[in-house]
Amino acid sequence: MRAYSTHEIELMKELETTIQEGLSSSKVIKRQNQYGLNEIKQKRGTHPIIIFLGQFNQPLIYILLAASFITAILKEWVDSLVIFGVVIVNAIIGFILEVKARKAIESLGKSVSREANVIRDGKRQRIPASQLTIGDIVFLLSGDKAPADIRLIKVRELQIDESTLTGESIPVIKSTAVIEKNTILAERTNMVYSSTLVTYGMGTGIVVAIGNNTEIGRINQMIATADVLETPLTKLIARFSKVLLYVIMGLAGITFLIGVFRGDKIVEMFMAAVALAVGAIPEGLPAALTITLAIGVSKMAKRHAIVRKLPAVETLGSTNVICSDKTGTLTKNQMTVQNIFTTGHNYEISGIGYEPKGNFLANNCNINPLDDLVLKECLIAGMLCNDSNLVSIENNWPIEGDPTEGALLVSAMKSGLSRDAILTDLPRLDTIPFESEYQYMATLHKNAKSKNNIVYVKGSVESILARSSKVLLSSGEIVNIDVNRCLEASNVLATKGLRVLAFGCLMVDKSKSGITHADIAENLVFLGLQAMIDPPRPEAIQAIQACHKAGIKVKMITGDHELTALAIAHMIGIVGNSQNLSEFQVLNGKRIAELSDQELIDIVENVYVYARVAPEHKLRLVKALQFHGDIVAMTGDGVNDAPSLRQANIGIAMGITGTDVAKETADMILTDDNFATIEAAVEEGRGVYDNLVKFITWTLPTNFGEGLVILLAVIAGIALPILPVQILWINMTTAILLGLTLAFEKMEPGIMSRPPRKSSQSILTPDLIIRIFVVGALLCAGAFGFFEYAIRMGKSEVLARTVAVNIFVFGELFYLFNCRSLRFSMFKIGIFSNPLLWIGVLIMILLQILFTYAPFMNRVFHSTQIDILDWIFVLITGIIIYATVGLDKLLRNRKYKTL
424-468 pLDDT, tens digit each? 999 999 999 887 678 899 999 999 888 899 999 999 999 999 999
Q: Residue 277 above 80 pLDDT?
A: no
Residue % of the chain over a pLDDT of 70:
86
CA atoms within 13 A on the CB side of 233: 25
- pLDDT value at position 878? 95
**Dist. CA 857–CA 859, nearest whole Å:** 5
Please list the residues that pair with 138 across neighbouring strands.
Answer: 118, 205
**DSSP summary character for residue 55:** T
Provide the pLDDT for residue 272: 73
pLDDT exceeds 60 at position 292: yes
Structure letter (DSSP) for residue 186: G
Instruction: Decide if 447 contacts 453 (C-beta within 8 A).
Output: yes
Q: What is the pLDDT of residues 229-269, one digit of tens each?
A: 344 455 556 666 677 777 777 877 887 888 788 777 787 77
* pLDDT, the chain, mean: 83
Strand partners, 361: 348, 366
Tell me the three-class secondary structure of 776-795, residue by residue. HHHHHHHHHHHHHHHHHCCC
Contact (Cβ atoms closer than 8 angstroms) between residue 127 and residue 320: no
Average pLDDT over residues 767-775: 91
- Collapsed DSSP state (helix, strand, coil) of residue 684: helix
Of 551, 546, 544, 588, the C-alpha closest to 566 is 588
- Average pLDDT over every residue of 147-164: 85
Say what the pLDDT of residue 110 is.
46
Residue 705 DSSP code: H
Tally of CB atoms within 10 A around 872: 10
Q: Report residue 866 CA to chain centroid gap.
A: 54
Going by pLDDT thresholds of 50, 70 and 90, the confidence category of residue 657 is: low
Quick check: is 519 catalytic? Answer: no
Average pLDDT over residues 677-686: 88
- Say if residues 51 and 103 touch (Cβ distance below 8 Å): no
pLDDT for residue 899? 44
Using the predicted structure, report yes or no on whether residue 778 has a pLDDT greater than 70: yes
Q: In the structure, what pLDDT confidence band is assigned to residue 599 with cuts at 50, 70 and 90?
A: very high
How distant is the alpha carbon of residue 835 from its chain centre? 29
- Angle formed at CA 699 by CA 693 and CA 701, multiple of 5 degrees: 110
Give the pLDDT confidence of 795-812 residue by residue, as tens digits: 999 999 999 999 999 999
**Residue 357 and residue 351 in contact, taking contact as beta carbons nearer than 8 Å:** yes
pLDDT tens readout for residues 735-749: 889 998 998 998 888
Q: Average of pLDDT values for 821-832?
A: 87
pLDDT, tens only, 862-871: 999 999 999 9
Lowest-confidence segment of 181-185, 319-323, 478-482, 790-794 by average pLDDT = 181-185
Catalytic residue among 325, 430, 667, 673: 325
pTM score, whole prediction: 0.65
pLDDT of residue 702 exceeding 80, the answer is: yes
Do residues 527 and 340 lie in contact, with contact meaning Cβ atoms separated by under 8 Å? no
User: Is residue 887 predicted with pLDDT exceeding 80?
Assistant: yes
SS (H, E, C) 146-172: CCCEEEEEEEEEEEEECHHHHCCCCCE
Q: For position 838, what pLDDT does the model report?
A: 96
Single-letter amino acid code for the residue at 287: A
Q: What is the pLDDT of residue 67?
A: 66
- pLDDT digits 0-9 by tens, 351-377: 877 889 999 999 889 999 999 999 999
Phi/psi of residue 156, each to 5°?
Answer: -135, 95
Q: What is the dihedral of CA 102, 108, 111, 116, to 10 degrees?
A: -110
> Of the ranges 414-428, 477-491, 531-545, 563-577, which one carries the lowest mean pLDDT score?
563-577
| Residue 114 · residue 129 · CB < 8 Å | yes
Between residues 170 and 33, the one the model is more confident about: 33
Secondary structure (3-state) at 347 = strand
Instruction: Calculate what percentage of the chain has a pLDDT beyond 90.
Output: 39
pLDDT value at residue 167: 44
Instruction: Give pLDDT, residue 216.
Output: 72
Lowest mean pLDDT among 284-293, 464-473, 514-523: 284-293
- Residue 530 predicted with pLDDT over 50: yes
Nearest Cα residue to 623 out of 635, 613, 634: 634
| pLDDT tens profile 613-623 | 866 688 889 99
Does pLDDT of 107 surpass 50? Answer: no
* Three state DSSP letters for 477-510: CEEECCHHHHHHHHHHHHCCCCEEEEEEEEEEEC
Query: What is the average per-residue pLDDT within 654-672?
Result: 77
The stretch 875-898 carries a mean pLDDT of 85
> What pLDDT score was predicted for residue 185?
76
Are 467 and 459 in contact by the 8 Å Cβ rule? The answer is no
**Single-letter residue type at 462:** E
* C-alpha to C-alpha distances, 103 to 95, 99, 106, 308, nearest whole angstrom: 12, 6, 5, 13
3-state secondary structure 561-618: CHHHHHHHHHHHCCCCCCCCHHHCCEEEHHHHHHCCHHHHHHHHCCCCEEECCCHHHH
Name residues whose C-beta falls within 8 Å of residue 501's C-beta, 6 or more positions apart in sequence. Answer: 382, 404, 408, 458, 459, 460, 461, 529, 530, 531, 532
Give the C-alpha distances (Å, rounded to integers) separating 152 from 4, 39, 165, 678: 9, 21, 18, 40
Mean pLDDT of 518-528: 95
* Under 8 Å between Cβ of 723 and 79: yes
pLDDT for 362 equals: 92
Q: How far is CA 388 from CA 322, 385, 784, in A?
A: 31, 9, 77
Q: What is the pLDDT of residue 261?
A: 81
Fill in the amino acid letter for 695: F
HSE, side-chain direction, 13 A CA sphere, residue 541: 11
Q: Which helix (H) or strand (E) holds 845?
A: helix 835-853
The per-residue pLDDT for 385 is 95
d(CA 717, CA 263): 10
Confidence bin at 727 (pLDDT 50/70/90): confident
Q: Per residue in 509-519, pLDDT tens?
A: 998 889 999 99
Rounded Cα–Cα distance for residues 779 and 701 (Å): 8
Average pLDDT rounded to a whole number, residues 144-149: 90
pLDDT digits (tens, 9 = 90+) for 60-71: 677 667 767 766
What was the pLDDT predicted at 688?
A: 85
